[in-house]
Amino acid sequence: MHSEGDFKKDGAGAFHEKHSLSIRIWHWTTFITIASSLVLVLLGSTMFRTGDNVSLVQEQLERKGAVVTKDQAWSVAHEYSDKLWMAHKWVGYGLCFLLFSRFIIELAQPGEEKLKLKIKRAMGFKATTPAEKDERRHYLIVREGYLVFYLLFLVMGLTGLGLAFEHSPVLKDIQDPIKEVHSIVQYLIYTYILVHLIGVVRADIGKYQGIVSGMIHGKK
Ligand code: HEM
Ligand code: HEM
C-alpha cells in the first residue's frame, strides 16, 4: 500500500505509476473501440449524410435510364446512412460493456491502483517545496480529468442506450432531448481525447519519458 511518504519519495516519478494488466488491456481496447466508433460517426455525418446523397442517387439512376422521385432516392440514400448508424449502435454496445468493465476493474483492483484512492492519497500529501506543490497539482488535474472523462463516457453510454431503445414506451417521448445531449457531449469527448493525446505526448517528450510505453508494458 502506498503511503504519503511513497508519493514524496517518488517525487516527479509519481506519474510513472505501474498500470495493471487489466487497465492496460482495457485502455487499448477502449482506444480502438472509440476510434472505430468515431470513424463511423465521421462517415455518417459527412460522406453518407442522407440529404447530401439524394441527388447523387437520382443522377446515377437517370444515367441508367431510371427516373425516380426525390422520395424514392431518399430511401436508397437513407439505407446506406442507416447501415453506418446501426454499426455505430453495435460498437456503442461494446463501449457500454467496456465502461461497465472499467467499473468492475476499479472495484477489483488492489487498493493502491484504485483511481479513487490515488486521488485521496495525493490530496492528503502535504507538499512543501514549490516543485512538489506543482507535481501534486498536475497529478490531481490529470487524475480528476480521468474522472471527468468517465462521467462523460457514462453520459454518452446512457444517452446512446436511450437512442438505441427508442421504441420503448418510457423513452420514445424523450428522444429529442436524449439526442441533443448525445450530440453535444460528443464534442466534450473529442476535446478530452485531444487534450489527453497532447498531454501524454508532451509528458513523454518532457519530464515523464516512457509514460506511453508504461501503458503498454506496465513497468515504471
Ligand atoms: C463515446 C462516443 C460516442 C460518440 C462520439 C457518439 C456520437 C454520435 C453522434 C454524433 C450521433 C448522431 C446524433 C444525431 O443524429 O444528431 C450518434 C447517434 C447514436 N448513437 Fe452515439 N456516440 C457515442 C457513443 C455511443 C454509445 C456508447 C452508444 C450506445 C449504444 C451510442 C448509440 C447511438 C445511437 C443508437 C444513435 C442513433 C443512431 C441513429 O440515428 O439511428 N452511441 N452518436
Ligand atoms: C480514444 C482515445 C483514448 C482514450 C479515450 C483514452 C483514455 C484514457 C483513460 C481513461 C486513462 C486513465 C486510465 C485509468 O483509469 O487509470 C488513460 C491513461 C493513459 N493513456 Fe489514454 N486514451 C486514449 C488514447 C491514448 C493514446 C493514443 C495514447 C498513447 C499515445 C494514450 C496514452 C495513455 C497513457 C500513457 C496513460 C497513462 C497516463 C498516466 O499514467 O497518467 N492514450 N487514457
Q: Mind listing the pLDDT tens digit for each residue in 141-176?
A: 999 999 999 999 999 999 999 999 999 999 999 999
From the CA of 93, which ligand is nearest? 1
Tell me, yes or no, whether 133 and 34 share the same domain.
no
Provide the pLDDT for residue 52: 95
| Most distant pair of Cα atoms in the chain: their distance | 80
Q: Is residue 9 part of a domain?
A: yes
Provide the pLDDT for residue 3: 42
Provide the pLDDT for residue 127: 84
Q: Is residue 102 part of a domain?
A: no
Provide the pLDDT for residue 17: 81
Q: Is residue 96 part of a domain?
A: no
Q: How far is the CA of 151 from the centre of ligand 1 (A)?
A: 16
Provide the pLDDT for residue 14: 62
- Which H or E element spans position 71? helix 70-108
Tell me, yes or no, whether 48 and 3 share the same domain.
no
Provide the pLDDT for residue 5: 42
Q: How far is the CA of 162 from the centre of ligand 2 (A)?
A: 27
Q: Is residue 204 part of a domain?
A: yes
Tell me, yes or no, whether 124 and 69 share the same domain.
no
**Residue 16 CB less than 6 A away from ligand 2:** no
Provide the pLDDT for residue 1: 37
**Residue 148 CB less than 6 A away from ligand 2:** no
Whether residue 9 is predicted with pLDDT greater than 70 in this model: the reply is no
Tell me, yes or no, whether 128 and 180 share the same domain.
yes
> In angstroms, rounded to a whole number, what is the distance separating the alpha carbons of residues 31 and 28?
5
Residue nearest to atom 32 of ligand 1 (CA): 160
Domain that holds residue 121: 1-13+109-220
From the CA of 197, which ligand is nearest? 2
Assigned C-alpha cell, 143: 487524475
Provide the pLDDT for residue 128: 85
- HSE-CB for 157 with a 13 A CA cutoff: 15
Assigned C-alpha cell, 75: 430511401
Assigned C-alpha cell, 125: 500529501
Phi, psi of 152 (to 5 degrees): -65, -40
**Can you tell me which residue has the cell 488535474?**
141
DSSP-H helix ranges across the chain: 4-10, 21-45, 50-63, 70-108, 115-124, 130-164, 175-205, 211-217
Residue nearest to atom 7 of ligand 2 (CA): 27
Assigned C-alpha cell, 51: 440529404
Tell me the residue ranges of DSSP E strands in the chain: none
Q: Is residue 98 part of a domain?
A: no
**Residue 149 CB less than 6 A away from ligand 2:** yes
Tell me, yes or no, whether 131 and 213 share the same domain.
yes
The three-state secondary structure class of 218 is coil
Assigned C-alpha cell, 27: 485502455
Provide the pLDDT for residue 11: 45
Q: How many domains does the chain have?
A: 2
Residue nearest to atom 6 of ligand 1 (CA): 186
Tell me what the mean pLDDT of segment 78-90 comes to. 97
The lowest-confidence range among 52-61, 78-87, 106-115 is 106-115
Q: Which one is predicted more confidently, 5 or 75?
A: 75
- Based on C-alpha coordinates, what's the Rg of the chain? 23
Kindly indicate the confidence band of residue 15, based on its pLDDT and cuts at 50, 70 and 90: low
Q: How far is CA 92 from CA 43, 96, 109, 178, in A?
A: 16, 6, 25, 15
Provide the pLDDT for residue 45: 95
Residue nearest to atom 29 of ligand 2 (CA): 212
> In angstroms, rounded to a whole number, what is the distance separating the alpha carbons of residues 146 and 152?
10
